[in-house]
Structure 1
Amino acid sequence: MPTYKKLTPASPWVKVAATKRDWDTADPALLMSMFSQTLLIRTFEEYVLSLASQGLVHGPAHSSIGQEGGAVGSVLALTGSDYVNGSHRGHHQFLAKALGYVAPDGIDPRVPLPEAVRTVLSRSLSEICGLADGYCHGRGGSMHLRWREAGAMGTNAIVGGGVPQATGFAWAARHAGTDAVSVSYFGDGAVNIGSVLESLNLAGAWQLPVCFFIENNQYAVSTHVDEVTAEPRLSARALGFNIPSWRVDGMDPLAVHLATGEAVAHMRQGKGPTVVEADVYRYFHQNGPFPGSAFGYRTKEEEQQWRERDPLALVSSHLVRRGILTEEEVTRCTRRAQAEMEAVGSELLEPVPGGKPGQRQIKPQLWPDPEFRDVGLRGNLSEFEGARTAELSDFAGATQERKFIDVVAGVMHRRMSEDDRIVVMGEDVHRLKGGTNGATRGLPELFPNRVLGTPISENAFAGLAGGIALEGRSRPVVEFMYADFMWVAADQLFNQIGKARHMFGGDSDVPLVLRSKVAMGTGYGSQHSMDPAGILATAAGWRIVAPSTPFDYIGLMNSALRCNDPVVVLEHVDLYPSTGEVPVDDYDYHLPVGKAVVRRTGSDITVLTYLAMTRYVLQAVEGGDVDAEVVDLRWLDRASIDWDTIGASIRKTNNVLIAEQGALGTSYGAWLADEIQRRYFDWLDQPVQRVTGGEASPSISKVLERAAIAQTEEVAAQLKKITGR
């Protein structure tokens, strides 16, 4: 017969409730801050819904009415140095953090609002309405609110999408030696998202000072929490990751404050992450000014029961009971807040010319200029002022033959020695004498706190790196073992990191480097062999470099590490064992952003290529009768294509062949050919020709894999077909 022993969680899981004594002994200033913030947020949200009902909010208006207690109670436990981020329903979190930042000693609701507070309300309302004076200059709207100075690091429209970034803020705070903490707000729907669970695991493993604050408002749009999980007490998730957790009535701001205060103290003491679950209720539907009962998924009785526990009414009643405010003062404060909000809103609105009485519109002069559309997709590269550049063809110093893979580790050693902001992370980068290919050889021993071996959770550690980059004090370098893993982390790469600068107004640097290898030809099959250049080039925000020689790798990696935009550095396994000339003792030069190089001059045809395909193209040309000009693109993103070099070659040869190894369906050359034919149609003697891999992904079979990718023979055959030689 087996024996059984009952197991218990390694971390505590408690439910916290505020007692009458807690309310009786609470500092009057704390209670007044709770009241004033909850009142202002409630009044703000009601005003937003009134604008939405008039058609003056373009897009969603995800109100937090009813949920204010969770945000106010928790944020009052923070300082201006702490970080928060949130979900698409994040007005209350953002406002609580911003109001606490501009009025750290509290707001007296009995007197006119300070100008700084009115500015917060005005800029927040402007952002929700999509206006130029908003915190993100109108690009963020209701779902993307960010004010870096206040520690409000951004709300997020992807459910759970901002949670990995919050772990990055926490890592950055700890790495900088501060006691600042990070709080990530998300709802019951996000608890089941993979990136959230990955982040819980990563934060627990690395003991990061991040609080996962679950606003359990019972419904993900119209689906009740009981329908989607067997354990609706969502804070139970923490136990699986050895993270202490608190469950609290989110309609009671003081109870939330007490629970969050304990969680924050735990984190400030260096004890790692926490989870707080606050049971709250949104009075209205997912979006707009109607209750959930209007859509049939909630009853009016349920809604009324929750309204009877209203956080604003609760705080008001205790203020009156303790004699801090009178009933009349509460009423006057409410009317004053409403009048202040009307005054703030009136600055944005005007009567509709010729419209009905009371009909209003946004003042036309407040809209962003349409010319602002693409501004801030990437930085202006001012960080490269004074940067020294070099090409092998004009390098005057001593050189030597070095293996490509040794140069990868060498340039990282050089940069990490001179720039303590750089931190490297990825799977196995701290083991195996330099990771799976030797790219980090020697670095873990020299920089043990800056070479971080991660769990196998690309979404979490890519997002963590994104948070580190947005926080601004460090420069993360992420390694993905294979380029295919980008799709595992697609949300963080494309929805988060790539869009962050533009989405939040164009002012936020995102200095992140992603290294990833292209492994076709190694027998690793369909899920470890892709060339991602064609997909990456469609994602605005990223810069893409593709080195084909050791010398270029040094210059391109230096440029990637200097750049304040996210940069993908593609590395091909075919190049790792190859050798080339590099400086003997110079690892400090850059290759200019957006500069291609002509590897071979010619007059018959221009061949555009990149990465390992450059070598195959040169082999094909040297072995044939076609006088081809071979251009190694090096920079592949739309903003960095060297049209000067490409155009000069096309005007000379009047023919173009784009040669790549990747699959036909995700071909990089597809968009490039289209753009060339638009720009240079008058100089082309025939349509742009292409060499690509097959439609199918490479297979494990050596024969089938070779058939699926392009190399020397395919280029030679296409050149012969084009020229007849």
Structure 2
Amino acid sequence: MPREIRLTTETPWLEIRTTPADWKKAGRGRLATLLHRMHLIRAFEEAVLELAGEGLVNGPAHSSIGQEGAAVGAMAALRAGDQINGSHRAHHQFLAKALGRVLDGEAFDPLVAGEHPAVAPMLTRTLAEIMGLQPGFTGGRGGSMHLRWAEAGVIGTNAIVGGGVPFALGAAWSRMKAGTGDVAVTFFGDGALNIGAALESLNLAAAWSLPICFFVENNQIAVATTVAEATRETRLSARGPGFGIPSFAVDGMDPLAVALTMDRAVAMLRAGKGPVMIEAATYRYFHQSGPLPGSAFGYRTKEEEDAWRARDPIRRVAREAAAAGLIDEAEDALMRERAVRTVAEVVGRLVEPEGNGRRIVPALWPDTGTVDHGLRSGGAEFDGIGFVELETYRGAVEERKFIDVVSAVMDARMAADDRVVVLGEDIHRLRGGTNGATRGLFEKYPGRVLPTPICEQTFTGFAGGVAVDGRYRPVVELMYPDFALVACDQLFNQIGKFRHMFGDTLSMPVVVRGKVAMGSGYGSQHSMDPAGLYALFPGWRIVAPTTPFDYVGLMNSALTSDDPVLVIEHLELYASSGPGPVDDYGYHVPFGRAKVVRPGGTLTVVTYLAMVERVRAAAERLGVDAEVIDLRSLDRAGLDWETIGASVRKTGALVVAEQGPLTASYGQMVADEAQRRLFDWLDAPVLRIHGGEASPTISRVLEQAAIANDTRVEDGLRRALAEIGRPLPAVAAE
């Protein structure tokens, strides 16, 4: 028989319960505060459900009735500089933090007759946001699931289960780096604890000792799937010790127990002993969305619902406070009546009678002309910056190896701007990552080059959280663009949408570097050209530098932009040389300006990255009078239709050339828009040069057959001339 050794962990895992002495010690003031805020949240949520029942809330209304105690108890330990975010069911968390913003530090006794004058305006803005109205915190853009108030320390709640957790890591890291002593708390439910982003975040937070509390509101069910159906270990706080994270279990229907647990947890975070996890057992009284209970849909019993309602957090505090002789029934009733009255007044500001019902006051709807407002920065961050091109640059230029300027410009920017931080996999080893792009930076800028575990979705979302915080400018290296598919939620649902979704109340200065490896033998899962993917989603700027000179200037513009920017690099270009600066790495090349790299009068070819030289060389070999345009900026807002249009009006023909496959193609988007914009000047349909249908594979011959190689480019140019009925040059016809 083998010897068995029982393993243990020194990571604390505790359950916290209150005693009668705790209620006495809490005192009248603390218990009154808990009751006051829960009554306001309960009355507010009841009004939301009533409005939803009347069709006055567009979209879901995820009620938090029954869960107020966990939110109010948790927020009691936080201060103004602490940041929170939550999930789709977050009205209670938002309101608890917002009430702290307007009431903490105020000389206000919640047991007096009148409400504090700051409460109703805050509730009005919150309700307006949930109803999609202009007076809301983000102009009605976010609605019920996307609530943000930066001044109150709410990063932004999230409709993607678990999707906001990595952002909170970024907020926590920024606070740790700044040395403020502030912390972050990310709230999510039992369902999210099975999501990869949440589990990856636990690991990264533990590895980096971040001051973050993972607060799990275990309301026993995800839509209609119970915890026991979703996971074998139903004590969800057991997940924490597995990552070395001290963890606590607490009754979420006991607000004082939650507050005492958070007191302990936040003290640990402020002392540098984070992260921590708290699991609060709680219960939502209603269905996933709307005013009906779960029993109406058959996945809960009325007996179960009644048993949890008997443990109501408001009634618990009122009962314990009365037993301790601190607050009597009349005072509790006063707070309830006042909360209902205050919320009714708030509702009355947003709706008006119509027939036998009510309608939203028409003047409160957002102006539909602002539908795209905030999709990207207005560009004010570039005010005062002088842009240059190689032809107008006055500094010294010489032949430079492309990869050398990649690391050199990042070195220069990190030296000049201590807000710039770099993160990614293996960027501190191998003499600057897998290709030398971060050479020397780890040693030179300690604490600002962050080597990450393999967890693309989490470290990408982390960068988004850092960017929203505003103190640092993250640069993310995705070792290969294909790995972006692992991080799609963070890149496109989160980073790309945040500015617009939250009503242009934030900036998102994230730079993502991704290298195309087509032709290098790395196969189908490492060879993607990401331009077509990123161009599908709003919010992203995309640049594709072809020369060392352009790389420096476009990277500086990317690091200046308040938008997320994808900088695409090509392995084929890394080893190439071209004109580049000798010692000046501070100039800017503008977004949105293409460059004619070969003048011509018969055919216009637009392309980017390694295809620029391939197309130019093919035109030279064939003697084709092709005008070759390096697009450089690839996002929809950055396409230089002025330069493209001027060329097409001269040539009458357009070819869009890209190296990648027919599918997931960037060229499709360009060709479609060109056909509509330039139809009157085209003598033939827009032609595309591209790879095959399949992604390139490992075999050298199959890889070359799959991508747009020299042969495909030449064939495409011949085909384009034939389409417009122009003869092949003599050299090409031989």
Task: Give the Cα separation in 1 of the matches to 2:608 and 2:288.
Answer: 48
Per the alignment, residue 65 of structure 1 pairs with: 65
Q: What displacement does 1:715 show?
A: 1.5
2:384 is the alignment partner of 1:386:
yes
Aligned to 1:319, the other structure's residue is in SS state: helix
SS in 1 for 2:156: strand
> 1:109 Cα shift?
4.9
Does the 8 Å CA contact 2:113/2:334 hold for their aligned counterparts?
A: no
Q: Are 1:691 and 1:710, in contact at CA under 8 Å, matched by a contact in 2?
A: yes
Aligned counterparts of 1:205 and 1:161: Cα–Cα separation in 2 = 20
Aligned to 1:220: 222
Aligned mates of 2:10, 2:620 — CA distance in 1 = 67
Given that 2:28 and 2:327 are in contact with CA atoms closer than 8 Å, whether structure 1 keeps it comes out as no
Tell me the alpha carbon deviations over residues 138-175 of structure 1, each in whole angstroms, 9 at most, x when there is no partner.
11110000001110111100000000010110000001
Give me the whole-angstrom Cα distance separating, in 2, the residues matched to 1:86 and 1:640: 34
Q: Which residue matches 1:650?
A: 648
Tell me the amino acid that sits aligned with residue 177 of structure 1.
G
Is 1:566 paired with 2:564? yes
- Please give the alpha-carbon distance, in whole angstroms, between the structure 1 residues aligned to 2:159 and 2:530: 26
Alignment of 1:94 with 2:94, yes or no, is yes
Aligned pair partner of 2:607 in 600, 606, 609: 609
Stretch deviating more after TM superposition (644-653 or 198-207): 644-653
Identity %: 59
Inter-partner Cα distance in structure 2 for 1:266 and 1:559: 41
Match of 2:8 in 1: 8
Deviations 1:79-130 (A, max 9, x none): 0100000000000000001110111136515333223211110000000000
Contact 1:128 1:141 in 2 (8 A): yes
- Partners of 1:186 and 1:499 lie apart in 2 by 20
How do residues 591-606 of structure 1 correspond to structure 2 at under 5 angstroms?
Answer: 591-606=589-604
RMSD: 1.0
The equivalent of 1:665 in structure 2 is 663
Q: 1:173 aligns with which of 172, 175, 182?
A: 175
Of 123, 127, 130, the match for 1:128 = 130
Quote how far apart the aligned CAs of 1:625 are. 2.1
Give the CA deviation at 1:27.
3.0
Deviation track 1:301-341 (CA, whole Å, cap 9, x = no partner) reads 00010000000011112232333332122212211111111
Partner Cα separation in structure 1 for residue 659 and residue 557 of structure 2: 25
Query: What's the offset of the Cα at 1:3?
Result: 1.7
In the aligned structure 1, how far is the partner of 2:383 from the partner of 2:282? 51
TM-superposed CA distance for 1:395, in Å, is 1.8
How big is each residue's C-alpha offset from its partner over 1:29-76, in whole Å with a ceiling of 9 and x where there is no partner? 211110111110011000100111111111000010000111100111
Is the 8 Å Cα contact of residues 60 and 287 (structure 1) preserved in structure 2?
Answer: yes
- List per-residue Cα deviations over 1:425-454 (Å, max 9, x = no partner): 000001111000000001011002100110
On the 8 A contact 1:499/1:541 being kept in 2, the answer is yes
2-side partners of 1:466 and 1:332: how far apart?
44
Tell me what 1:289 maps to: 291
The answer to whether the 8 A contact 1:544-1:567 is kept is yes
Match of 2:423, SS?
strand
Report if aligned partners of 1:617, 1:711 keep a CA contact under 8 Å in 2.
no
Which of 455, 471, 477 pairs up with 2:469? 471
Amino acid paired to 2:297: F
Partner residue, 2:400: 402
- Cα distance in 1 for partners of 2:103, 2:390 equals 57
Per the alignment, in what secondary structure is the counterpart of residue 580 of structure 2? strand
Equivalent position amino acid for 1:601 in 2: P
Q: Could you tell me how far apart the structure 2 residues matched to 1:518 and 1:567 are?
A: 16
Contact 1:218–1:224, Cα closer than 8 Å, also in 2: yes
Give secondary structure in 2 for the equivalent of 1:52.
helix
- Structure 1 residue 364: deviation in Å? 0.6
- Mapping of 1:137-536 within 5 angstroms? 137-352=139-354, 355-356=355-356, 359-536=357-534
Distance 1:92 1:594 in 2: 44
Amino acid at match of 2:409: V
- Once residues 468 and 286 of structure 2 are traced to their aligned partners in structure 1, the CA distance between those partners, rounded to angstroms, is 33
Normalised by the length of structure 1, the TM-score is: 0.98
Deviation at 1:720, TM superposition (A): 1.1
Separation (CA, whole Å) in 2 of partners of 1:633 and 1:157: 36
Q: Which consecutive residues of structure 2, in runs of 5 or more, have no partner in the other structure?
A: 723-727, 729-734
Q: Distance in 1 between matches of 2:364 and 2:325?
A: 44
Given the alignment, which residue of 699, 715, 721 partners 2:697?
A: 699
Structure 2 CA distance, aligned partners of 1:598 and 1:711? 22
Cross-structure match for 2:82 = 82
**3-state DSSP class of the match of 1:152?**
coil
Write the distance in 2 (CA, Å) between the matches of 1:615 and 1:625: 15
Q: Which letter maps to 2:50?
A: S
How many Å separate the matches in 2 of 1:618 and 1:272? Answer: 56
Question: In 2, distance between residues paired with 1:136 and 1:404?
Answer: 43
- The partner residue of 1:676 within 671, 674, 677 is 674
Contact 1:693–1:710 (8 Å) recurs in 2: yes
Question: In the TM superposition, what is the alpha-carbon distance from 1:394 to its structure 2 partner?
Answer: 2.0
CA contact (8 A) 2:23 2:321 kept: no
> Is residue 169–residue 212 contact of structure 2 (8 Å, CA) maintained in 1?
yes
The CA distance in 1 between the partners of 2:42 and 2:105, in whole Å, is 20
TM-score, normalised by the number of residues in structure 2 = 0.97
SS at match of 2:612: helix
Query: SS at the partner of 2:155?
Result: strand
CA–CA distance in structure 1, aligned partners of residues 711 and 395 of structure 2: 37
Out of 98-107 and 382-391, give the one that drifted further. Answer: 98-107
CA distance in 1, matches of 2:401, 2:102: 55
Q: 117, 120, 127: which one pairs with 2:119? A: 117
Distance 1:175 1:331 in 2: 46
Which residue does the alignment assign to 1:541?
A: 539
Equivalent pairs, count: 721
2-structure distance, mates of 1:476, 1:221:
36
Residue 682 of structure 1 and its aligned partner are, at CA, apart by 0.4
Tell me how far apart the structure 1 counterparts of residues 424 and 4 of structure 2 sit (CA, whole Å): 39
* TM superposition shift of 1:178: 1.3
Distance in 2 separating the partners of 1:351 and 1:294: 30
Further displaced range: 714-723 or 221-230: 714-723
- Other-structure match for 2:548: 550
CA contact (8 A) 2:190 2:221 kept: yes
Alignment-mate amino acid for residue 595 of structure 1: R
Give, in angstroms, the shift of residue 28 of structure 1: 2.0
Separation in structure 2 between the aligned mates of residue 333 and residue 101 of structure 1, nearest angstrom: 20
The AA in structure 2 aligned to 1:321 is: A
What SS is found at the alignment partner of 2:567? strand
Contact 1:109/1:337, CA 8 A, preserved across alignment: no
Give structure 1 stretches of 5+ with no counterpart: none
**1:523-548 Cα distance to aligned partner (Å, 9 max, x none):** 11110001111111110000000001
- Give me the whole-angstrom Cα distance separating, in 2, the residues matched to 1:142 and 1:109: 30
2-side partners of 1:119 and 1:134: how far apart? 10
Q: Name the counterpart of 1:29.
A: 29
Match of 1:685 among 654, 678, 683: 683
Query: What whole-Å deviation, never above 9, does each CA across 1:356-404 have from its counterpart, x for those lacking one?
Result: 2xx1000011000111110001010110011121111222222121110
Q: Which amino acid aligns with 1:8?
A: T
Q: Is the 8 A contact 2:115 2:338 kept in 1?
A: no
